[in-house]
Structure 1
Amino acid sequence: MGTTTVLPAIYASNLTLAVCFVCMGAGLMFLRRVAGAIAGPGYWAAGLFLNAAGFVAWAATITDWNREFFLLGELLHIIGFAALVLGIYRFMGKAFQRRHFAGGCALAAMWIFGLMIMPQHRVGGLFLIMLFRTLIFVWAGQIILKQASSGSQAGRSMAGWGLVAWGVYAACAPVIWQFSWLRPMAVGLPAGLHVVVVMGMVLLIIEQMQARAEASEQHAQRLEGLLPICAACKKIRDDRDVWHPIEGYIQHRSKAEFSHSICPDCARRLYPELDIYPGTRPNAT
């Protein structure tokens, strides 16, 4: 591609997307530090960084056509997509099975075949390359959408449907690029879809953090295990060897509140002269 046919807007858009992806990846890396043991954000950040590097390589092909740069950019994008799917599997707690591995190999073979035939059959090769993107994005999106969740559905819906829309765009992109009046949308739409997907992933992380905090609070509100209790005064000893009245111990560790009354046995023992309960008066002798 000579300099007379260079599309400056495409060159600038590739570099702009690279900067956007680096910023989103950096944001996920910070979120990973906050999320702690939650798996997924690190893989997603790595995928975004790889995609950013791929856009830089593609920008080089715009100014001076170089097949090696195009292949490098394509390879970086594919590895980034694989990191995205792997992160989703880790986040959802799923394990790769043989059928998943076989499906991934089939998709990789289709992508390689598309690259091989592209010099002689540009349309057919581009179709296979974009079909690979469509299938992997829809695959990742349906994994998220099928995940059962008892809490908020906002993050699951945003990330899942965003990936599906990303896949639909990949299928339609070769057609969109044929019309000059649609090309600006073809540049901006994938960037917007990336932002939607990343925002959905952030919501997924926040929702999981909230769910873990609620579960931890509920666990803290339950009294479990053996409680050392005094056989005489009924005080309870904590883990610091401090003895507490039973009411204070339970109230401090749960949401229970006490309303004091008196049972019939104690009423008979403490107040035998009062006819509070039947049979409280002692028998006359």
Structure 2
Amino acid sequence: MNDLSIVYAVNLIIGAILAGVMSRYWRLEAQSGSLRYWIVAAWTLTAADLMFVLRASYPDAVVRMLPTLMVTAGQLVLLFAAKRTTERPTSTRAALGILVLHGLFLLGVMGMPELADWRSVGNSIVWTALAFRAAWILSRPIRGQRSVMQIPAFVLVCHGVFQALRVALAMRAATSPGDGIGPLIQMMGDLEVSLFMVALFVSVLAAFLEQSNRELRVAIDDVHQLSSMLPLCSWCNNVRNDDGYWQRIETYLTTHRVNVTHGICEDCAATHFVGQPAPKEP
């Protein structure tokens, strides 16, 4: 196994761990429809790493372009995840169109060897556009509230900037083949896979945990509000207890560890003790 295969193998292990952790969290805790798309994206990018590891054994050049298209598919699923998280409509037809156009571009480059250096340029342009689009969607407020997905949006912006830098370097390599920056572009791509997947999917998982905590806090506040409501009879002022039985308010408060003392107000004293001294309060 060469050094490049080792790098892709490490990326594969990292991606599998992240995708597995997210899948476990979704199964045990979240059950969120939008999180399902993030998990699919994680597994898709992990599968792309697996194909990169094995691509040296692919017998056909056309088949060897599948890992690149798998990365594009993963980016498209990320875009779907961003839209579902922000409750925006998705378009499967548009996603398939982008995937087909990218595939045609790769076939065209393979058919014209003199344009082989422009392959990295085209790939990075597609991935840059998808990253910035997903970041823009996540950065938009949801129902007028600040979204918990601001950190994943920032990670996607960084990824878009990184890919834009790769576009610039790849264009320079394509126009000036003698500069020798091809290995630098390859190294940037290898680093990007690990850094991007770790930063993005860890931040996504943290965002969903934060959202779950917010929902839990709201639920606790609702329980406190409901538990503070006292069912009181409008006629006899008896209280309905937790078992559904009506009892005197003094008994109810005593059972809930509230000490009760008795007194008499001025109106009741004037009504019930006319012409005689009112009883003294205990």
Aligned partner of 1:232 among 224, 230, 236: 236
Aligned residues of 2:237 and 2:249 also touching (Cα < 8 A): no
Task: Within 5 Å, give how 1:1-285 maps onto structure 2.
Answer: 8-62=2-56, 66-96=60-90, 104=95, 107-119=98-110, 120=112, 121-148=115-142, 150=145, 156-173=149-166, 175=169, 178-180=181-183, 183-223=186-226, 227=231, 229=233, 231-238=235-242, 240-243=243-246, 264-266=266-268, 268-269=270-271, 273=277
Structure of greater relative contact order (alpha carbons < 8 Å, 6+ residues apart)? 2
SS in 2 for 1:112: helix
Identify unmatched segments of 5+ residues in structure 1: 1-6, 275-285
Q: Which deviations, in whole Å up to 9, do the C-alpha atoms of 1:164-193 show, x marking residues without a partner?
A: 111222233352782545654542233112
125-134 or 135-144: bigger deviation: 125-134
* In structure 1, C-alpha distance between the alignment counterparts of 2:62 and 2:251, rounded to whole Å: 73
Give the letter for the 2:85 counterpart. F
**Structure 1 residues 260 and 79: alpha-carbon distance in aligned structure 2, compared to 1, 3 A threshold:** farther
Q: Which deviations, in whole Å up to 9, do the C-alpha atoms of 1:63-107 show, x marking residues without a partner?
A: 6674244232233323322322222222223333xxx56754553
* In structure 1, C-alpha distance between the alignment counterparts of 2:51 and 2:188, rounded to whole Å: 22
22-31 or 68-77: bigger deviation: 68-77
Give the letter for the 1:234 counterpart. N
Q: Which deviations, in whole Å up to 9, do the C-alpha atoms of 1:111-140 show, x marking residues without a partner?
A: 133223211122344322221111111111
**TM-score, length basis structure 1:** 0.73
* In structure 1, C-alpha distance between the alignment counterparts of 2:198 and 2:262, rounded to whole Å: 58
197-206 or 259-268: bigger deviation: 259-268
* In structure 2, C-alpha distance between the alignment counterparts of 1:187 and 1:130, rounded to whole Å: 13
Give the letter for the 1:172 counterpart. L
* In structure 2, C-alpha distance between the alignment counterparts of 1:115 and 1:260, rounded to whole Å: 88
Q: Post-superposition shift, 1:259?
A: 11
Query: Root-mean-square deviation (CA), in Å?
Result: 3.9
Aligned residues of 2:38 and 2:78 also touching (Cα < 8 A): yes
Q: Post-superposition shift, 1:48?
A: 1.5
Aligned residues of 2:73 and 2:99 also touching (Cα < 8 A): no
Q: Post-superposition shift, 1:20?
A: 0.8
228-237 or 27-36: bigger deviation: 228-237
Taking every aligned residue pair, what percent have the same amino acid on both sides? 14
SS in 2 for 1:95: coil
Give the letter for the 1:229 counterpart. C
Q: Post-superposition shift, 1:216?
A: 1.1
**TM-score, length basis structure 2:** 0.74
SS in 2 for 1:88: helix
* In structure 2, C-alpha distance between the alignment counterparts of 1:88 and 1:182, rounded to whole Å: 28
Give the letter for the 1:208 counterpart. Q
What is residue 277 of structure 1 aligned with on the other side?
none
